[in-house]
Structure 1
Amino acid sequence: MANHYRELLTTPGATGLVLASAIARLPQAMIGIGIITMLVEQTGVYWLAGAVAGTFTLANALIGPYISKLVDQRGQSRVLPVVTTFSIGMLLALISAVYMRAPAALLFVLAALAGTMPSMPSMIRARWTQLFRGKPQLHTAFSLDTVLTELAYIIGPPLAIGLSVSFFAEAGPLVAVALLAVGVTAFLLQRQTEPQVVVGHARHTGSTLRIPGVPTIVLALLAMGAIGGSIDVAVVAFANAQDWPASATFILAAYAFGSLVAGLTFGALRVSLPIEKQFFIGILVTAITGVLPMFSPDVYVLSAMLFIAGISFAPTMVVVMKLGTIIIPPSRITEGLTWMTTGISIGVALGGMLAGLIIDACGARAGFGVSIFAGLVMVSVVLIGLRTLSAVSTRSVESAYP
């Protein structure tokens, strides 16, 4: 395992990219939950907290691909400073508005404008693709990237919550904003790894969603996000039903830890199976293991079941990102990767919402039924689109290596 990661990190510019990206990706994991905690601490109104945070998340998911398209056309160093500065200004305005008890309508407007925050995971993956497109090191790079993302979501939310609860309500979002400024600055200073605009192909007018195979990937990731979102809500409800609310923390940590361990291990392997078949196998295993939590009698068994379920998550994400770099042209890679992230984000929101409705109506355990249904949808989508994915990926590889 060590040899592949050592080979990756000795590539010029790779170590700096890893360190800068570790900071730059943290705000994405902190701001949503930070807004919720801040508003709950200030107002005690949960629906408002969830709605404002949801507005930010939805706006970020929908605006992100268009910002990334602009990045593909003009370059990271020209676009990111502008949109990040604007997003930081809107986030600071939102924090100030909450502090001054401004009308709820203003909070929603500012949250939507703050959603212009760039999709840093997509910017980071675009750089890894620039460094290693078509090389085996890209597999290891995406594995490491997925592990760092898991770590960000393990560290970020508790940090945001802890700051707001321990110091003052606005502390979590303020630290997230500071990390966004520092992280993006450090990221942009890594000029050696910045993707170059592809001259003559940068100004495409159509959406990357029209590229054959991309809709299949985005819809599959939407269903995959719904699995994660529904499990998050169902775990909290299950822990409450077991009269041990605090156990939700280590149950969800087991889910993330399973994904993290699998991601690191998968990055050390070299798989010869065609990429579209790897994708289908990953999707199938994710759907099958998503059934396991339904049969958990207590929090300990649920932790074990979710650890197992998490094992397929990171490797599947690695494979789908690699597949994306094969079928999406270099001139549109950032936009394409961002649409994938958007699919996951919308899926998480939908999964959490549906699970909440079903739990209210049928009880805590029924919430896991959403993840089972999402798994069936995910497998169906990939089965329908598998022939297209195979044809497009084969054609793309042949055109790259005639």
Structure 2
Amino acid sequence: MILFLASRPVTAPPVRPAAPVRSTRRVRPVCPARRVRPPGFRFLAPYRRLFSVPGTRAFTAANLLARLPMGMLSVSAVLMIAATRGSYALAGAVTATGLAATALVGPLTARLIDRHGQACIAVPATVFAVLGSLSLLLCIRCHAPTWTLFASYAATATTPNTGGMSRARWAHLFRDDPAARHTANSFEQAADELCFMLGPVLATFLCTALFPEAGTLVAAACFLTGVLLFAAQRRTEPPIAARAPGHSGSRARSRTPLRLPGLPPLLLTFLATGAIFGSLEVVTVAYADDHGARSAAGAMLALQAAGSCAAGLLYGLLPPTTGPAHHLRRFRRCVGAMAALMLLPLLAARTGSLTALTCALLLAGMATAPTMVTGMGLIQSRTPAARLNEGMTLSVTALLAGIATGSAAGGYAVDYAVPAAAAALACVLALLTTRPPR
């Protein structure tokens, strides 16, 4: 027995774990560390959400490159023709011809884009428009007859609506998210204001610092490159609506947006809004020239566009509308605010102070982008998806026609009462003609 016990290995007795000591202090679970964003950047969360979707950054950057020449081409053409032919009247007539041709051909180009896709139509249309700009340049360099200038610039009418194509992509990507579409439309309007603010400044610098044709060359190169890059982003391109005979979608496809209920009154309001832009630009240049500060007119108009750009970005942070009636009510309020703020330049001009007028233009511009964003949202809500590009191009056509009319009226009267009257007309049209759709 002793030998048996001696042969067993000696092991320590098992130690029972001690009972846990209960504490009255509450222990919080350990969570992974979160990156705390500065408070000043939290308001950008809706815009970060937009560009977190794959492909959105690529097509937005390409579209901005293609959209910047929209504010350069007309100014470059005016400076190029005036420098070589010595006539601003001829330059204005040539650009007016191109504007009228774009108003006629633009909706047809957009209809083809809706039917056959953005990449299929936008690229050849852009190539044809760029060839028209280069033809204008060659006609000026070779001292061709005057009628060739009109024919060449009229060929640029096939220019596709790059802003409308970008909005169509946002509408497709966030078709089930009204808040994201609202933010995207606000961003697009701010981008429009930014391009039309920087485009004329860049065109003027190129045409005066280098040579008269430099603005047209750079604008044509940027336009063609931007559209090619934009068309290459196929995964975000809206699909082509299928044609089904006897289906309501096919009937909507064959029906022009001009016959859609509620759309013509909106286009009339856009026409009056375009008259504000056209007359405001001409009257500001004339007013600054009359006070011996013509070079300051560009900076004054740039501040007006900057106010609109900032207001557009801030407007995108507001919650979207909850229904058609609420959306229409907000549009009327925005148009009313634009009409009220457009009285500020009229009052400031009476003081004779350029500083006061510049501040008034900055404040007046803050109502522009919210009005355009809400109006474009109404256009999208009342236009079938199969005709979305055509519907938005019709709104741009109405704006262009209004700009031409406002420019003529502003040049004739040379008074800030013209844009104020146009804003009042837009407000009356929005209140009396627009109705919620049934």
Under a length normalisation based on structure 2, what TM-score does the superposition of the two structures give? 0.85
The reply to whether residue 13 of structure 1 matches residue 55 of structure 2 is: yes
- In the alignment, what sits opposite 1:318? 373
Given candidates 156, 159, 169, the residue that maps to 1:117 is 159
What letter matches 1:290 in structure 2?
Answer: M
Matches within 5 A, 1:190-209: 190-200=233-243, 201=249, 204-209=253-258
220, 227, 249: which is aligned to 1:184?
227
Contact 1:202/1:332 (<8 A) preserved: no
* Residue pair 1:30, 1:176 contacting (<8 A) in 2 also: yes
Tell me if the contact between 1:73 and 1:202 (Cα under 8 Å) persists in the aligned partners.
no
Rounded Cα–Cα distance in structure 2 between residues aligned with 1:41 and 1:59: 24
2:388 equivalent in structure 1: 333
Say which of 264, 278, 294 aligns to 2:330. Answer: 278
Q: 1:362 — aligned with what?
A: none
Identify the residue that residue 83 of structure 1 maps to in structure 2.
125
1:364 counterpart residue number: none
Kindly indicate whether residue 344 of structure 2 is the aligned counterpart of residue 295 of structure 1.
no
Contact 1:122 1:334 in 2 (8 A): yes
Residue 27 of structure 1 contacts residue 177 of structure 1 at CA under 8 Å; is this kept in 2? Answer: yes
CA offset at residue 17 of structure 1? 1.9
Q: Please identify, of 265-274 and 106-115, the stretch whose mean Cα deviation from structure 2 is larger.
A: 265-274
Equivalent-residue separation in structure 1 for 2:216 and 2:333 (angstroms): 39
Alignment partners' CA distance in 2, 1:384 and 1:264: 29
Query: SS of 1:391's equivalent?
Result: coil
Contact persistence 1:38–1:170 (CA under 8 A): yes
Partner secondary structure for residue 404 of structure 2: helix
What's 2:418 paired with? 370
Q: Tell me how far 1:344 sits from its aligned partner.
A: 0.9
Q: By how many angstroms is 1:384 displaced?
A: 2.1
Structure 2 Cα separation of the partners of residues 261 and 208 of structure 1: 31
Query: Aligned to 2:144, which of 102, 112, 119?
Result: 102
Q: Aligned letter for 2:242? A: V
> In structure 2, what is the Cα distance between the partners aligned to 1:202 and 1:177?
37
Report Cα offsets for 1:239-286 as digits up to 9, x if no partner: 122222222122112211110111111111114461111110011111
Q: 5 Å matches for 1:20-59?
A: 20-59=62-101
Counterpart of 2:371, as a letter, is T
- The C-alpha deviation readout for 1:115-168, integer Å capped at 9, x for no partner, is 111111111111111112341101111111111111111111111121111111
Question: Are 2:182 and 2:320, in contact at CA under 8 Å, matched by a contact in 1?
Answer: no
The 1:287–1:197 alpha-carbon spacing in structure 2 relative to 1, beyond 3 Å, is: same
Match of 1:224 in 2: 273
The partner residue of 2:192 within 144, 149, 170 is 149
Distance (whole Å) between structure 1 residues aligned to residue 284 and residue 149 of structure 2 = 30
Q: Look up the match of 1:162.
A: 205
1:348 aligns with: 403
Q: In 1, distance between residues paired with 2:280 and 2:250?
A: 40
Provide structure 2 residue ranges, at least 5 long, that are not aligned to the other structure: 1-42, 244-248
Amino acid at match of 1:84: T
1:150 and 1:34 map into 2 onto residues whose CA distance is 18
Aligned-pair Cα RMSD in Å: 1.4
Which protein has the bigger helix share?
Answer: 1
Could you report, residue by residue, the CA deviation over 1:344-400 in whole angstroms, capped at 9, with x for unpaired residues? 1111111011110112xxxxxxx211112211221121122232xx125xxxxxxxx
Structure 1 contact 34–173 (Cα < 8 Å) conserved = yes
Output the CA distance in 1 between the equivalents of 2:55 and 2:250: 25
2:5 aligned residue: none
Kept after mapping to 1: 8 A contact 2:266/2:434: no
Alpha-carbon distance between aligned partners in 1 of 2:175 and 2:291, rounded to the nearest angstrom: 48
Other-structure match for 2:427:
379
Identity between Structure 1 and Structure 2 (%):
35
Aligned mates of 2:175, 2:126 — CA distance in 1:
27
Distance 1:4 1:143 in 2: 11
Deviation at 1:202, TM superposition (A): 5.8
**Which has the larger displacement, 265-274 or 288-297?**
265-274
Are the aligned partners of 2:278 and 2:404 in contact in 1 as well (CA < 8 Å)? yes
Which letter maps to 2:419?
A: S
The answer to whether residue 190 in structure 2 is matched with residue 138 in structure 1 is no
Q: Which has the larger radius of gyration?
A: 2
Tell me the distance in 2 between the aligned counterparts of 1:71 and 1:210: 19
Cα drift, residue 71 of structure 1: 0.7
- 2:437 is equivalent to residue 391 of structure 1: yes
- Give the whole-Å Cα distance in 2 for the aligned partners of 1:287 and 1:277: 15
Give the 3-state SS of the residue equivalent to 2:294 in structure 1. coil
Alignment match of 1:171 (pick from 214, 223, 242): 214
Contact 2:338-2:367 at 8 Å conserved across structures: yes
Hey, what's the Cα distance between the residues in 1 that align with 2:382 and 2:355?
A: 42
1:84 to partner: Cα distance: 1.2
Q: Which amino acid aligns with 1:378?
A: A
Aligned length: 383
2:416 match: secondary structure: helix
Cα distance in 2 for residues equivalent to 1:105 and 1:42: 15
Instruction: Tell me what 1:60 maps to.
Output: 102
Give the match for residue 27 of structure 2.
none
Write the distance in 2 (CA, Å) between the matches of 1:386 and 1:133.
Answer: 24
Distance 1:61 1:2 in 2: 36
Match of 2:15 in 1: none
